Structure 1
Amino acid sequence: MCKVVELQCGIFRIVFPVMCNFKRSFLFLFLLLSFFNYESLLAQKWTSLGPDSIPSLINVRDNSLRFAVGIGRVGMLKLFPSKEKKGNKSMMYLGTPFGGLWEFSTEDSAWSPSSTDALMNMGVSDFAINPKKPAIRYLITGDPDCIMDPNGPAMSSEYCQSRGIVKSIDGGLSWSDSAIGNWYNLQGEIEKDFWKYPSIKIARKLHIDSKCPDILTVIIYTYSYRTKTFDGMIYQSKDAGSTWKPRLTDEDAYLKDLEVKPCSRKVMYAAGRSVYKSYDRGSNWETLHKNGLPPDSLVNRIELALSVSKSSHLFALVIYKNSRTSDIFLSEDDGKTFIKIISAQASPEWRTAMVVDPSNHDLVFFTAGNKVHRLYRHNGSWMKEYTVGFIHDDVHDLNFFETNRTLYASTDGGLFSSTDSGRTWINLNKGLSVAQCWSVSVSQTGPLSILSGLQDCGTILNKSAPDTLAGWWIVRGGDGMATAFDYHDDYIMYANDGNNSLIARSIDGAYSWSRNLLPTRQESAIYQRPFFVNSTYQGMIYTGLENVYKSIDYGDSWKRFSTIEGLNKNERLVSIAGAEDDTLVFYAAYANPAWNKEPKQKLFRTNDAGQTWVDITHGLKGVAWTNISTILVDKVNADIVYVGFRGGWDFKVMRTLNGGKSWEDYSTDLGFDCDVNALIMDKDELHTVYAATHRGVYKRSLNDKGWLKFGDGLPGVMVSGLDIRYDSGILFAGTHGRGIWSVKIR
């Protein structure tokens, strides 16, 4: 007679027979336990901690904090008349480079995320709604201003490149799982891997025809390793995205702008190094040569702006390859001829924007020196001036809407608006939780405090109640990078600034900060310079430039570890890690791949506190073609080391059990796009590792066969850093685009 076994797990009660068929019963039990293990991981619920508005300044007298005022980058803004809402009100959407699409609520005057948390890439370059069937929507994934560096693996930008165009047929409630359509080359062949990760492509703007909304036109640029050029492409679909065919391909065109002539569906303009024009809704294109614009050999890129009130007027903002000056040209005859009307300080080409006032064709707003300027005609002459009103620097997009005289500026610090030509600006960031965190650290003593370095928005601190300053505060300016608390005193904390090569220490809970504690100005470092605090010995901190530096007095003085012989003079440290209790054992990794299937001189170990080094790169296959991103040393055994990689290749994590004598691939079940940014080990659950990846947080314990997605509710956003508050058993994640999140791990 068969016996039965009852298994209770949460709300589930399973009754199944055993002994009748032992093998089948055992297999069923194994699969059942595996299912419940996976379900228990997902049962952990992530909670967003913000910030969801621009934090206040902790010290209003500190002028350096003023330039960090912001919440995170906004890349594009769109306004649509909504036929689905009562009163036919316009709906406003904004796209962020890493944090998805957001929708503005007029009732709450606040932003909320718009159902894009599950996209394979949460960056939004552009967004379009079918004007006849508003439930049909299109979205370009990726960062419109992603910077591609040919010297790095996957152009050093696999996390921000486009993954193609996705489509919704239910008003944006859900989106296609992958890029839509078949993409054809010039030979008429389907390119199956057109959007394969990493795509090495940036799709920047999408146009939907107002009368024939099945016609879609998109502008793309890519890098050619063969010609070493940034080639431009314009693709078009005439069947609502099912098939895409090239309408323009041009070597080194660097196409980044696509505009449609006001009051004309047929005339379109595109710009990169040159300006292109189409008279037939994008089916055919011609280059506007010999029209007064500078030769494309001198041009980095051109930004266009068209006048609504005088549609024959076309402005071109030219950013040059080797000049700190930009020029603005005007055509008054639909692009047939241009004349230079003014010069200005250049902004970087990835922070270049321009727009014409819709009711005044002689009033233009543009970026110069990373700030918004006005260009206007006075007594027949063109004049320029700074708009005076303060907003966050680094402007990526400027907008007017024909029915709205408000000027909108999308910046590295969020969205701002002005109704008086930029003399004053209004902060429009309520509810917008899009902080681009490079790090997260939490206090281990006292009430919970959270510290995080943000891209372009300084370093922020969250104090918990009952502190009188409970909430989020901007405590440092610049580009916030690595942060850390002293493990024994929560009033002592450290902040790093990547752009300005700074290390600062506070001993009073972030109210005041030390001088720059950087060990030396004689060495250079990577933008995200490695830094960490030893958890056992108070006052012991490390940082990495070209060499490893150690301080035992909180950064007041430093000792340099010995230089590693035989390294290229341009090598810079990318990650450093040491044993918790044994300060003699230390690991150091250098940036960039080995570019060799037998890698060497990328990862080193010292057993004598940096007096001598041993190269342990042999067998570390992940660094052959990708970058080491992080090193994690086991809490108990310093010979057990985990190494994370990013760069769009097969290896995501590798592990050694013998101090680097041999390595094993530890990437099982990490997806092809789950490049690893950080690793952390739970000291109270030994050998359990959490991974911060481009696609969320994963967990792997000692006996697990592979990695498992950890927790529920965290968007599919890039996670840059992790930390654990051990006495409460809470894991914190710093995301690059959706702020700080937390989850209970025990």
Structure 2
Amino acid sequence: MMLPKTVRIAGILALTTSLARAETPLMCNGLDNGLPFRAATAAVEDDLSDAEPVDPNEFRPQTMPPPRPVIRGADPVWVSIGPSPTRSAQVIVPPDNRVSGAVNAVAPHPTNLNILYAGSVNGGIWKTTDAQAANPTWTPQSDELPSQSITSIEFDATDSNFNTLIAGIGRLSNFAQRGDDELGVYRTTDGGTNWTLLGGSTLLGRKVLAVAARGNILMAATTAGLFRSIDTGANWTLASGTGGLPTGANADLVADPSNNSRFYISVRGASPQLLRSPDSGASWTNITAGVTGLSSSTSTIKFAVGPTGVVFVAVVNSGALAGVFRSPDQGATWTAMDVPTIHPGGQGGVNSAIAADPTDTNIVYVSGDRITASPFTGNVHRGDASLALGSQFVPIVDSNAGNTAPHADSRDLVFDGGGNLLETDDGGIYRRVSPRTNSGTWTSVIGNLTVMEIHDLDHDAVSNIAIAGTQDNGTHIVDTPGNLVWRFISGGDGGDVLADDRTLAPTSSFRYTSSQNWGGPARRTFSAANSQTGNTGLPGIGDAQFVTPIELSVASADRLMIGGASNMYEINNVTSGSPTLTTISTPGSNRGAVAHGVRADASAAYIGSGAAVFKRTGGGAFAATAALPAGAAAITDVAIDPDNVNIAFAVDDNQIFRTIDGGTSWTDVTGNIASISAFDFRTIEFMELQAGDQVAVGTRSGVYATPVNAATWSLFGQSLPNVLVFDLRFDATQQKLFAGTLGRGAFVLTVPMVIDSVFANSFE
């Protein structure tokens, strides 16, 4: 059974003031044979709330991260384990239903159909030179650049060699808008071999929604308005408020492909406006007259420019398409078209796109979040202004596309040089051939694209595979050991995941999964050959979180702890045929801040709740530990020494704390990490290494580690992309550390027998 996406926070009504974001659908799948699975309580399965409240502590003032430390010697290397890509989850496309993760923009080479550039939501910039292949080979362009949150990417049309592109940086993830810092724009003049960060302090913290480049003119539509450079990005000036362009946040910026001096821009606010510039942004003319329905509830206004001066506009209000308009004369006059239903999920603030047909001045394409029936694939329509009202739009997915369809949650529509329609969304990049007809089909252009937003992962040593909960794409597992291609096992926004490779070893294992809001929680049984052989529902809770944290006890895999928003829960017979739930006590835990069990006390636990840490021993209730040192904010994760319940660690966004007396006192051990790493600490992991116990912290620019009794941090391993590390799992038996990143998939590092000062760098 696949339940539809429901209304999310209504668009991005005010990106300048609100970071409230929404998430994804609840789709409860059963075994791999497609049989329906129901949660233990119908109330949980029917809870379709899609919005995860944003924690303001997650959005500190943005900063330029320091350069990474330089690794010395032949230190261990982080190795990607995918998904590259995964298969299935709200998509029906050949060759094998590929899904890679969210891509916000694509730039096709004007003359070479094999060259594409992609800007992923949190996985950086990618390039392929064989885009026409069934499974293109993509190469990351920005792994070492300081931010991987890409909103837009465009060619500079004045470069006749097509080697100059510009890409905008901003947080547009449907995972509560988490991501890298917003640092400005990147520019390349050699086809992507090298990229230069532009914008400096002027663009720092600006959400660049759209970019355009024409020779010496670079533009970025951002939360503060339009910024303009006339010296290829060396200097930037706020253009909003001058030349007839009103102040306020912009929603879109496009260049006219037939005139390098002509641009169109939309401005949000109490009285939204559409404007045209004839002189590269020096002056602007208001062309709003005739476009109706604009108000303070307007989420976004999207432009598409076609041949001979035709312009189309899509108006999205409160997260749903409210109007489509066509102008034959560069916006001097407008005619309203039909309004297709493309946003049943109400998420049009981010998931909207529009493209004008490159040859027919009457045809336009619009896309939204999803269709209204199973399998809830993408929603793309073709409109023809030459037809009578009431008959202008038809869907070009599913039955009008040879029973093929792209992933849900569209983000970009653009034509390649061969007349094919390219669409990007929360699943990747897809191509529609013959878009002017109902007989064309969709195919994947994903190949090995590796941009999955993983927020939770674990490793099953019985099958030697990883399992991950992902943004918008459900829960996935490695297909076979060593295979970079993964496979889908359950839908919705993947929840926290766990692998119990102790209870049934060596023949089988248990894996714990759910979707958002503790939807469809299950204990799945897998054989050593990685085939699902059983599925047992788990009890629901009344105060589920969007991603509800779960942890098995280190000392007893029969004990599962669950972190609700206001209470903690445990199941002390989770491996039985009928698991039963017990309420422990208040408070509930923060999103991922639960550590459970030590070898001498299976019931012991630490949790983070707000800016405090609570502790439980001996099976009792949770009690507050001592106050954390000054500056402590919402705790993002906690960790315990499995051999000593008195030694524990906690992290917030930018500090690390340690106790050696069971929480009677805490010490700030952030140490030198601020000088060698960006913040956004999301995960901390205790590592029982053969060379001595250490703790590792996942940050926005790598994994850093230190001995448990120290406070001098060093980069742990090399070749991990400069991306937000959201979850860490250490396998003590294999001496491997697994990292789940929010935008570049999963990685593994095999720790050597002997460690030289924790992979020492010049800061020590």
TM-score w.r.t. the length of structure 2 is: 0.76
| Match status 1:375 vs 2:383 | yes
Are 1:77 and 2:106 counterparts?
yes
Q: Per the alignment, do residues 355 and 181 of structure 1 end up closer, same or farther by CA in structure 2, a change over 3 Å counting?
A: closer
Q: Does 1:55 align with 2:94?
A: no
Matched, 1:39 2:45: no
Please state how far the C-alpha of 1:330 moved relative to its aligned partner.
Answer: 2.4
Match for residue 500 of structure 2?
486
Q: For the structure 1 residues 175 and 518, does the alpha-carbon distance in structure 2 shift closer, same or farther, using more than 3 Å as the test?
A: farther
What is the one-letter code of the residue matched to 2:148? M
Instruction: Show structure 2 runs of 5+ residues with no match.
Output: 1-68, 371-378, 399-403, 753-764
Equivalent pair of 1:97/1:160 in contact (CA under 8 Å): no
| 1:338-359 deviation line (CA, Å, top 9, x unaligned) | 3432223335111111111111
Residues 1:549 and 2:572 are matched in the alignment: no
Q: Distance in 1 between matches of 2:119 and 2:487?
A: 25
1:315 maps to amino acid? F
Q: What is aligned with 1:219? A: 221
Residues 252, 519 of structure 1: alpha-carbon distance in 2 compared, 3 angstrom cutoff: farther
Runs of 4+ aligned residues of structure 1 deviating over 6 Å after TM superposition are none
**Residue 408 of structure 1: CA displacement?**
0.7
| Aligned residue in 2 for 1:741 | 747
What is residue 292 of structure 2 aligned with on the other side? 293
Determine the C-alpha separation between the residues in 2 that align with 1:38 and 1:703. 23
Counting only pairs closer than 5 Å after superposition, residues 110-121 of structure 1 correspond to structure 2 as 110-121=136-147
Structure 1 residues 328 and 128, CA gap change in structure 2 (3 angstroms):
closer
Separation of aligned partners in 1, 2:96 and 2:518: 14
Structure 1 residue 245: Cα displacement: 0.8
> C-alpha separation between the residues in 2 aligned to 1:573 and 1:162?
24
Deviations along 1:689-734, one digit per CA (max 9) or x if unpaired, are: 1112111211111354411111122111111222223332222212
CA contact (8 A) 1:129 1:137 kept: yes
Partner of 1:320: 317
2:691 is aligned with 1:691: no
* Residue 227 of structure 1: aligned partner: none
* Closer/same/farther in 2, CA of residues 119 and 562 from structure 1, 3 Å limit: same
Q: 1:390 aligns with which of 387, 392, 405?
A: 405
Superposed CA RMSD: 3.2
Which position in structure 2 is the counterpart of 1:643? 650
Shift of 1:165: 1.8
Contact kept in structure 1, 2:166 and 2:213, CA below 8 Å = no
The CA distance in 1 between the partners of 2:168 and 2:433, in whole Å, is 31
Contact 2:84 2:448 in 1 (8 A): yes
Instruction: Note if contact 2:569-2:585 (Cα within 8 Å) is conserved in structure 1.
Output: no
Label 1:479 to 1:129 Cα distance change in 2 as closer, same or farther (>3 A): same
Amino acid in the other structure paired with 2:104: G
2:9 equivalent in structure 1: none
Cα distance change of structure 1 residues 698 and 304 upon mapping to structure 2, 3 Å threshold: same
Q: 1:539 to 1:378 in 2, by over 3 A?
A: farther
User: 1:189-208 CA deviation, whole Å, 9 max, x = no partner?
Assistant: xxxx4345xx2x21122211
Question: Residue 123 of structure 2 is aligned with which of 75, 99, 110?
Answer: 99
Look up the equivalent residue of 1:292 and give its one-letter code. Answer: V
Q: Which moved more, 1:613-622 or 1:713-722?
A: 613-622
* Cα gap change, 1:441 to 1:215, in 2 (>3 Å): same
Q: Deviations over 1:248-295 (max 9, x none)?
A: 158884313111234222221112433222222111234444433223
State the match for 2:619 in structure 1.
Answer: 609
CA distance in 2, matches of 1:390, 1:90: 22
Q: Is the 8 A contact 2:253 2:265 kept in 1?
A: yes
Q: How does 1:284-433 map to 2 (within 5 A)?
A: 284-308=283-307, 310-311=308-309, 313-321=310-318, 324=320, 326-345=322-341, 346=343, 347-348=346-347, 349-370=349-370, 371-377=379-385, 379-381=387-389, 382-387=391-396, 388=398, 389-401=404-416, 403-421=417-435, 423-433=440-450
User: Counterparts of 2:174 and 2:446 in 1: how far apart (Å)?
Assistant: 25
Describe the SS at the equivalent of 1:674: coil
Q: How far apart, CA to CA, are the structure 1 residues paired with 2:359 and 2:116?
A: 21
Q: Secondary structure in 2 aligned to 1:194?
A: helix
| 8 A contact 1:579–1:635 mirrored in 2 | yes
Aligned to 2:585: 562
Q: Deviations over 1:53-73 (max 9, x none)?
A: 33369xx9x99xx99962211
CA distance in 1, matches of 2:210, 2:320: 26
Structure number with greater Rg is 1
For 1:579, the equivalent position in structure 2 comes to 597
Could you list the per-position Cα deviations for residues 590-609 of structure 1 after superposition, in whole angstroms to 9, with x for gaps in the alignment?
Answer: 35xx6xxxxxxx43223343
- Check whether the contact 1:143–1:202 (CA below 8 A) recurs between aligned residues: yes
From 536, 556, 568, the equivalent of 2:555 is: 536
* 1:501 CA drift (Å): 2.8
CA displacement 1:522-556 (0-9 Å, x = unmatched):
3241x222111123212211111121110022272
Residues 741 and 162 (structure 1), Cα distance of their counterparts in 2 relative to 1, 3 Å cut: same
Q: Contact conserved, 1:293 with 1:339, CA < 8 A, in 2?
A: no
Question: In 2 relative to 1, CA 279–693 (structure 1 residues): closer, same or farther, beyond 3 Å?
Answer: same
Shift of 1:637: 1.7
Pick closer, same or farther for the CA change 1:239–1:696 going to 2, 3 Å: same
Equivalent residues of 1:247, 1:285 under 8 A apart = no
- Structure 2 residue aligned with 1:618, among 627, 633, 638? 627
Aligned partner (choices 460, 478, 499) of residue 462 of structure 1: 478
Unaligned stretches of 5+ in structure 1? 1-35, 83-87, 149-155, 183-192, 222-231, 595-601
After superposition, where does 1:711-730 map in structure 2 within 5 Å?
A: 711-730=717-736
Q: Is the 8 A contact 2:114 2:130 kept in 1?
A: no
SS of equivalent residue, structure 2 residue 705: strand
Distance 2:194 2:198 in 1: 14
Alpha-carbon distance, 1:487 to partner: 3.5
Q: Distance in 2 between matches of 1:68 and 1:550?
A: 38
> Aligned pair 1:511/2:529, yes or no?
no
User: Hey, what's the Cα distance between the residues in 1 that align with 2:219 and 2:145?
Assistant: 21
**What CA distance in whole angstroms lies between the structure 2 residues aligned with 1:122 and 1:329?**
34
* Paired residue secondary structure (2:350): helix
* Matches of 2:247 and 2:644, distance apart in 1: 52
Distance 1:542 1:419 in 2: 50
Question: 1:573, CA displacement in angstroms?
Answer: 5.3
Aligned counterparts of 2:481 and 2:260: Cα–Cα separation in 1: 57
Q: Contact 1:248/1:285 (CA < 8 Å) preserved in 2?
A: no
Deviation per CA, 1:673-702: give whole Å up to 9, x if none.
232111111224554011121112111113
Alpha-carbon shift at residue 417 of structure 1 (Å): 0.4
In the alignment, what sits opposite 1:659? 662
2:294 and 2:315 in contact (8 A); partners too: no
1:395 shift after superposition: 0.8
* Residues 628 and 141 of structure 1: CA distance in aligned 2, closer, same or farther (over 3 Å): farther
More moved, 483-492 vs 332-341: 332-341
Look up the match of 1:278.
Answer: 277
- Greater relative contact order (Cα < 8 A, sep 6+): 2
8 Å Cα contact 2:314/2:321 also seen in 1: no
Q: CA 1:352–1:698 in structure 2 vs 1: closer, same or farther (change >3 Å)? A: same
Residue in structure 2 matched with residue 142 of structure 1 by the alignment: 169
Q: How does 1:490-501 map to 2 (within 5 A)?
A: 490-498=508-516, 501=519
User: Which TM-score applies when normalising by structure 1?
Assistant: 0.78
Q: Aligned equivalents of 1:296 and 1:507: distance in 2?
A: 52
Instruction: Give the count of matched residue pairs.
Output: 635
Q: What secondary structure, in the 3-state scheme, does the structure 2 residue paired with 1:374 have?
A: strand
The letter of the residue matching 2:412 is: D
Find the residue that maps to 1:264 and give its secondary structure: coil
Q: Distance in 2 between matches of 1:129 and 1:396?
A: 18
Alpha-carbon distance in 2 for matches of 1:614, 1:48: 40
1:107 CA displacement: 8.6
Q: Specify the alignment match of 1:440 in structure 2.
A: 457
